[in-house]
Homo-oligomer: A and B are copies of this chain.
Amino acid sequence: MKAAQRLLEYAHGRGVRACFANPGTSEMHLVAALDAVPGIRPILALFEGVATGAADGFGRMAQTPALTLLHLGPGLGNGLANLHNAKRARTPIVSLIGEHATYHLANDPPLASDIAALAGPVSDWLRTVPRAEDLVTAGAEAITAAEQLGPAALILPADVAWSDVEPDAPPPRSSPASTPDWTNTVDEAARALGANAVLFLGGRHLSARACAFAEAIAEKTGCKTLVETFPARIERGAAAAALSRLPYLSEMAAGSLSSASTIVLAGATNPVAFFALPGRPTRLAPDAATIVPYASPRDDIAAALEALAEAVGARVQPQRATRETPPAPDAEDAIDPMALARAIAATLPEDAIVSDESNTLGLFCFDACANAAAHDWLTLTGGSIGQGLPVATGAAVACPERRVVALQADGSALYTIQALWTQARENLNVTNVILNNGAYAILKLEMMRAGINAQTHAASELFDLQRPAIDFTQLAAGFGVHAERVVTQRALTAALNRSFARPGPSLIEVMFP
C-alpha cells in the first residue's frame, strides 16, 4: 500500500472527513489516495487561499480538522493569509503540503523553495517527513496538534507519498489532553471579579453555554463582560446571552476598558490595538489595571466559565426570555448600515452561520443580531482580509443543513472571489451578501486616524474601487452563482428572503450610496 493511502486511511479513522485541495504534480499520489479513501471528500478550490480559508470555516464549525492539500511552497504561499487567520483562531487544520521527491531537491528545480520557512509562521506544529515509515506517526501527531493547538503543517515529499508501506501497522495512539491550567486559578479569578472588573472572553469557541455562564457571573459579581474584538466563533441570538465585543478602533476600545481596575482573561489575550498609530494607545487596558490570566484561548471555555460561575455562586437561568427583533426594513429608501443590520437581524434563518468580513459597512450587524434567531458568528480573527467567502464555504461543508450568510465587504471579497465557484460546484447553502461602496473605506478612515489627509491623489489611486466599478453580479455569474443587485431597503429584505428559501449558493450585491 502507498504511504499516501495509509496516511489518509489513518486520518479517516481519526475523524477527518474533508480535504480542501488544489494539487499539483508533486501531489498526484495523494490524489490517488483520496480515491482509495472515499470517506474523505475532495473539494477543489480554484485558489489555495480559498482552500485554507474553507478549512478554517470547516474546523471552526466541526471542531475537528479538515485537510488542505497544497502544491509546494507557492501553493502554500497562496494559502498563507487564511492560515494566518486560522492560527489566530486556533482552528484545527492539517495542511498536507507536497514537496519535491527527496532525491530531486538537490537539483534545485524551478518550483523548489524553503517550504518549512514559509509554513513556520502560520503553523502551531510543523514537520517534514523524509521516510515513508514515519508518515503515519507524523500524521497522528499532526492531527493531535491540530486538535489541541491549531493549524498543523505536514510537508510530504513526493517519493515518501508514493513509497510502499505495510498496510496493517497499528496506528499510534494520540497523547492524552493534559489538565488545563485554569483549574489552579479559579479561586484567584473568582476573587478578582467585582464592580470594576472586566471578564474578557475569547478562544476557539464561545458556545451559548459559555456565554450564559459569563452573563450569570456578571449578574452575580457586578463585573462587565466583553468579548474579544474578533472571536473565532460565538453562538448568539434566541435565548443566548447578548454579550458585546471590544470595539475595533483602539481609542474606542481603550474607552470601553477605561474604568476597569481588573481584567480577567477567559480565552482572550491581553487587549491590544490592531495597529499602532502616532499618539494613540497600543495597550488598551488602563496602565493601573491588574491582568488576571484565567483560561487560555485553547481551553474549553464553557468548562472554565462553569467552574468560575460555581466559584462565585452564580446560577445560569434555565431559559432567558427571547427578545423582540424589529421588523425588516421595507422602505424604498437607499440602504445604509443600520438598515442592513435590521434586514439581516429580521430575516436570519434559525441556526444560521454568519461569516462576517463586513468591515465598515457591517458595523451594526453583530449587535443587531443579538435578538435574531439562534446563530453562530465567525469573524476575521487574524485581520487578514479575504477570509469571509472561504470561511463561509467551509462552514457550509461542515454544516450542510444550516444556512450560511457571508457578510462581505467589497474590497475584501475580491481577494478570494474564486470561493463562489466552489460554492456552486458543491451546491452549498451560502448567501453571499456583498456590501458595495466602491472603496477600501476602512483605509480612508485609518489614514485620517494616522493624521494624514486622505483626499490626496495617491490615496484616491489606492483606496478607490470605482474606476472602473466592479459588478459582482457578473463575477458571480461567471463562477456559476445566481446573483442579484439591490439598491433599496425593500429590495434587500426581499432578496434575503428569496435567497434563504432557495437551496444552494446565491449572491446579493448591496449597493451603498
- Chain A residues at the B interface, C-beta cutoff of 8 Å: 21-26, 28-29, 31-32, 34-35, 38, 42-44, 46-47, 49, 73-75, 77-78, 80-81, 84, 88, 100-101, 103-104, 107-111, 113-114, 117-118, 120-122, 158-159, 162, 230, 269-270, 272-278, 282-283, 381-384, 386, 411, 414-415, 417-418, 421, 424-425, 442-443, 446-447, 450, 452, 456-459, 461-462, 464-465, 467-475, 477-480
Contacts and interface: CB of A to CB of B under 8 A. Distances in A.
Contact of A452 (B28, B84, B88): B28
A459 B33 CA distance: 10
B468 A472 contact: no
Contacts of A384: 74, 77, 111
Contacts of A29: 450, 452
A78 B386 contact: yes
A309 to B, nearest CB: 29
A46 B414 contact: yes
| Copies of this chain in its oligomeric complex | 2
Contacts of A415: 46-47, 78
A162 B279 CA distance: 12
Given A47-B415, A100-B275, A474-B474, 15 more contacts: A31-B452, A104-B276, A107-B270, A110-B274, A110-B381, A110-B383, A111-B384, A117-B117, A117-B120, A118-B118, A118-B121, A158-B277, A425-B468, A471-B480, A472-B478
A47 B49 CA distance: 11
A510 to B, nearest CB: 16
A30 to B, nearest CB: 9
Contact of A274 (B22, B25, B468, B477): B25
A414 B114 contact: no
5 contacts: A28-B446, A74-B84, A100-B275, A108-B269, A159-B276
A283 B25 CA distance: 17
Contact of A273 (B107, B269, B468): B107
B74 A80 contact: yes
A480 B475 contact: no
A84 B80 contact: no
A475 B479 contact: yes
Nearest to A461: B42
Contacts of A43: 461
Contacts of A26: 275
Contacts of A475: 474-475, 478-479
Contact of A73 (B32, B84, B275, B442): B84
Q: Which of A75, A80, A110 has the most C-beta atoms of chain B within 10 angstroms of its own C-beta? A: A110
A443 B23 contact: yes
